Amino acid sequence: MKRSRLMAAALGAALAVSAAAGCGSGAGNDASTLTFLSWTGEEQMQPILDAFHEANPDITVEASYAPPVAEYIQTLQTRVLSGTAPDVFMIAAENKTSLIEGGHVVDLTNEPFMDKIPDFNKETYGRDGRVYGMSVSSWAAGYLYNKDLLAQVGYDSVPESWDEFLVMCEELQAAGVTPFLESVDQMPTTVSAWIGAKSYEMEPTLDELIFSGESTFEEQWTPALEEYNRLFTEGIVAKDVVGLDGDMVRDEFANGRVAVINAGPWVINAIREASPDLEFEFAPVPALPDGTPFQAGAATPGYAINSQASEEKQAMAKKFLDFLASPEGVAVFEEQTNDVTVTSDFEPTPDPAFEPLAAAIREGRLYLPMISWQRSEDVLNVEAVAQIQRMIQGQVDPAGVATALDTKLASS
């Protein structure tokens, strides 16, 4: 009796150890298996993996999934820390500093497939001239307008200048139409686009000046914030927008209750589903004086290779990335994700409503503060969003928002 109990205990312990060993290994046990932690959902990613397996029958990709953003970042971080990171994973704005500085990702600079990737996407996931992530697409957000509501006041598109845009908003208000809504639960699209337009014309860039200590947020951001605050001080937009998220703003637009909103291509399907007859189109954010219309946006997260993976696995991972950057791979990727791809040997076909922003994506005329900031990205982003909400409520002036960012940068 005692012996059988001992045997059972030993067997249980052996099973536990072997299970733990199985779980603990980041790399697949099979030499032909590549492990991959996907940011994209299984429904969209599996056809891409199937296409890769068809083109490379000797390699099987064993994918696991974690939804963006926080859950993905935490899952990957835990696996990196415990030495069980997959062979291929996504490098994003939220983890690029830690992954690059910690030496967790392979330098992809000289890989042949990187020749197809535009500089804008390479720089996003690079450091000191080296590139650590392969980003094959970008996204942009601008203004989405209801063609019929604008036509009521004699406009066929959003004006190119901010002053003209404010005049149009007043005319819409006079006609009993809510002119504009922008969710401010994240960095406002308008502010991102204006800062981006300014930075695009600068050398060194606006963020290089701020993060090197040659300039400050107060100097660079205050004029844009003052213009943005006119929406609220002049009564064009109600202060209640601070309680709205992107989905609420989208629903107001889909129901024809607002003429212009901030949005990206991710709202297109939901709006078409809710209001099939609604006529709408995207436009860049109107320009401030001396500026040009611009758009918020960034390179999508890049594929990165685990530096701790064996040489064989790294070679297989490079084959995987080579396929993802190939016209065949990009075609399946575009079909599944609807992203605007940026590789040089594939021409994407974006939704007609999104055409006005697609060219800017291909040219890399995009800006998102959180991506462009050189450190403390999320710390500054949380602070900026909260302070802009306070500015809209009248609790702090535009210079106060910028000063708060300077203080945060100094203390983090």
Distances in Å between the alpha carbon of 227 and those of 179, 206, 214, 287, 401? 17, 18, 24, 11, 13
CB of 16 to other proteins, least distance (A): 16
Q: Which of 32, 269, 310, 393 forms a contact with other proteins (CB under 8 A)?
A: 393
CB of 186 to other proteins, least distance (A): 9
Q: Which of 80, 91, 141, 206 forms a contact with other proteins (CB under 8 A)?
A: 80
User: Which residues, other chains included, contact 315 with Cβ-Cβ below 8 Å and sequence gap of 6+?
Assistant: none
Give whichever of 79 and 318 is closer to other proteins, judged by the CB atom.
79
CB of 68 to other proteins, least distance (A): 12
Give whichever of 236 and 386 is closer to other proteins, judged by the CB atom.
386
Site string for other proteins, 188-227 (x = CB under 8 A): ----------------------------------------
Part of the chain binding other proteins (CB under 8 A), chosen from 42-50, 76-84, 289-297, 315-323: 76-84
Using CB under 8 A, count the residues that bind other proteins.
42
Q: Which of 53, 147, 230, 239 forms a contact with other proteins (CB under 8 A)?
A: 239
104 binds other proteins (CB under 8 A): yes
70 binds other proteins (CB under 8 A): yes
- The single-letter code of the amino acid at 336 is Q
127 binds other proteins (CB under 8 A): no
77 binds other proteins (CB under 8 A): yes
CB of 278 to other proteins, least distance (A): 17
Give whichever of 55 and 386 is closer to other proteins, judged by the CB atom.
386
CB of 115 to other proteins, least distance (A): 30
- The single-letter code of the amino acid at 317 is A
Give whichever of 29 and 411 is closer to other proteins, judged by the CB atom.
411
8 binds other proteins (CB under 8 A): no
368 binds other proteins (CB under 8 A): no
Site string for other proteins, 140-169 (x = CB under 8 A): ------------------------------
411 binds other proteins (CB under 8 A): yes
Give whichever of 295 and 381 is closer to other proteins, judged by the CB atom.
381
Is-contact 20 46, C-beta < 8 A? no
389 binds other proteins (CB under 8 A): yes
Positions in the binding site for other proteins (CB under 8 A): 69-70, 73-74, 77-78, 80-81, 94-95, 97-99, 102, 104, 185, 238-245, 248, 252, 255, 257, 376, 378-379, 382-383, 385-387, 389-390, 392-393, 395, 411
